[in-house]
Structure 1
Amino acid sequence: MTPEPPYLTIAAAIRRRIRSGELAPGDPVPSTRAVTREWGVAMATATKALAVLRREGLVRVEPGVGTLVAARSGDTRPEPLTRRRIVRAALELADAEGLNALTMRRLATVLDTSAMALYRHVPGKGELVRLMADEACGEVPLGPVPAHWRPGLERAARWLREVYARHRWMAQAMASFTRPVASPNAMAYTEWVLAVLRGTPMTSSQKLHTHLTLFAFVQGLALADDLEEQARLDTGLSGDEWMEQNEPRFDAAQSGRPYPLLDEVTRDGGFELSLETLFEFGLQRTLDGIAAMIDETSG
């Protein structure tokens, strides 16, 4: 007998919780991330499981809240299709499976509607991605502008990295600097950073270039994060497992010619590289460079 696909097994388990009353109407159901942790499956599998329950009418997506147990038949009318509901569902799909998996037809299936119904609210995928980026940038406020530029820029960099961590597809969506996304919340972020730099002696051009340099640094690491996650999904190997598997290749490459300086750095496990340590190092060195420029401008 062919074993049942994992996503159907997961959907059946959550369905039993709903029908037994363990999960009542209005209660949150496990999120895609919670499903991946509980059942040890990929985000794509978790998304498919929740999509089954949505198609059955057992759960519904509540914008800004998450996926909830739907009211029982006859208790309420179907949830209306709105632009905000479309954007939130698109965010969930892109977060789980990446931007390439997001199509209007696929989104229509998730929302149990037709692609034509979506086009009445959103003209196409390009506009949908713009709305998604704006929604993502508006989830968490930056707060008041600090009195000094350095903690302000540090907060801006960490805020942006957190946005990219929640929504890895954002690194692709906002990759162009010469063709930026026309997003009110992204523009508000730029305005906030420029307010941080307002009291410095830099010219307007220097302030904008400072903002874009910091933005490019964070985005570059976010793209690396996205590639690392995709590689993990494609190979099923963590970074450490991949390095261990490929260690013979590195040994073979080193045996062909000497790399004394590289050997010196890596000898005896002398350093540990991760994207997080690279972010911390690069952020502080970037801020040091900006500080030197401000000092030079002041002089």
Structure 2
Amino acid sequence: MTDDGPLLDSIWLTERRATTARQPGLTREQIVRAAVERLDADGLPALSMRKLAAQLDVAPMSLYWHVPTKDALLELALDAVSGEIRLPPEDDDWADRLRAIAGGLRETVRAHPWTASVYGVMLNAGPEAMRVYDAFVGALEDSPLPREEIAPAANVLNNFIYGFIVNEMKWSQRVAAHGSTPEQVGTEVAEKFTAAYGDRFPRITRYLGLADAQDPDELFEYGLARVLRGLAAEHPS
């Protein structure tokens, strides 16, 4: 991912000159599918246009006829995995719909861990992502919130959902890279912090590790339920 280009230089938001030349037998869908497979298998650092071309048995320049840049390829891959998220029926309760969408997002990141390094860095503005976000906003429209609060409420929910998911995935990846488990690390962290700060910050050490000891699924549900309850509480139906 590069950060020296225009901020809104997204493949979804920028008009690009059409290219008539195409590698025979090769499609953008094939390229994106192969990119997702490589990202899933080896992570973000392993993705390069040269390696992907070798995987597809084509010349590297053939890829650029279909995908202008590596960043554009990442945007396409990110949107492709957004297409895996199943949306709940629109006649379900608004809060249940938001829980289902949040759970789908979390499952998608777990299935494709590399997305944790892409969310919040690249624009996620493809049609599949917009399909999910439209359902997300639609659920909020059916909530007790007044219309003027839907946009800030969506931001609050997004910050919790993506913040939890990305932090969870990045931490679990680092823990796994050290050949340990979150439970083992949580116990060790609690012991070391207690030894270092137990007398100085007793309130912190009193609760340190308690959240880590809980099941991540339960923590996610707890936090999401609290946010949704707060949104509904000020404007009861």
Cα-to-partner distance string for 1:153-182 (whole Å, 9 max, x where unaligned) = 211211211122212222332315xx7322
Matched, 1:95 2:37: no
Between 1 and 2, higher relative CO (CA 8 Å, sep ≥ 6) is seen in: 2
Q: Distance in 2 between matches of 1:272 and 1:241?
A: 10
* Corresponding position of 1:228: 171
CA apart distance, 1:241: 3.2
Q: Distance in 2 between matches of 1:148 and 1:238?
A: 37
**2:98 alignment partner AA:** L
* Corresponding position of 1:31: none
Unaligned stretches of 5+ residues in structure 1: 1-78
Matched, 1:216 2:162: no
* Corresponding position of 1:291: 232
Q: Distance in 2 between matches of 1:211 and 1:270?
A: 26
* Corresponding position of 1:159: 104
The answer (yes or no) to whether the contact 1:150–1:287 under 8 Å persists in 2 is yes
* Corresponding position of 2:19: none
SS at match of 1:207: helix
Cα-to-partner distance string for 1:64-99 (whole Å, 9 max, x where unaligned) = xxxxxxxxxxxxxxx932211111111111122222
Larger radius of gyration: 1
- TM-score normalised to structure 1 length: 0.63
CA RMSD of aligned residues (A): 2.8
- Give % identity: 33
* Corresponding position of 2:185: 242
The answer (yes or no) to whether the contact 1:190–1:211 under 8 Å persists in 2 is no
Matched, 1:114 2:59: yes
- TM-score normalised to structure 2 length: 0.77
Structure 1 residues 253 and 157, CA, compared in 2 at 3 Å: closer, same or farther?
Answer: same
Q: Distance in 2 between matches of 1:280 and 1:201?
A: 21
Q: Which residue among 190, 196, 201 is the counterpart of 1:253?
A: 196
Q: Distance in 2 between matches of 1:116 and 1:104?
A: 9
Q: Distance in 1 between matches of 2:64 and 2:215?
A: 42
SS at match of 2:95: helix
For these two proteins, the number of residue pairs brought into alignment is 214
Q: Distance in 2 between matches of 1:223 and 1:271?
A: 16
SS at match of 1:188: helix
Q: Which residue among 193, 212, 226 is the counterpart of 2:136?
A: 193
Unaligned stretches of 5+ residues in structure 2: 1-23
Q: Distance in 1 between matches of 2:88 and 2:143?
A: 20
Structure 1 residues 270 and 211, CA, compared in 2 at 3 Å: closer, same or farther?
Answer: closer
CA apart distance, 1:195: 1.9
SS at match of 1:294: coil
Q: Distance in 2 between matches of 1:238 and 1:150?
A: 33
CA apart distance, 1:271: 7.8
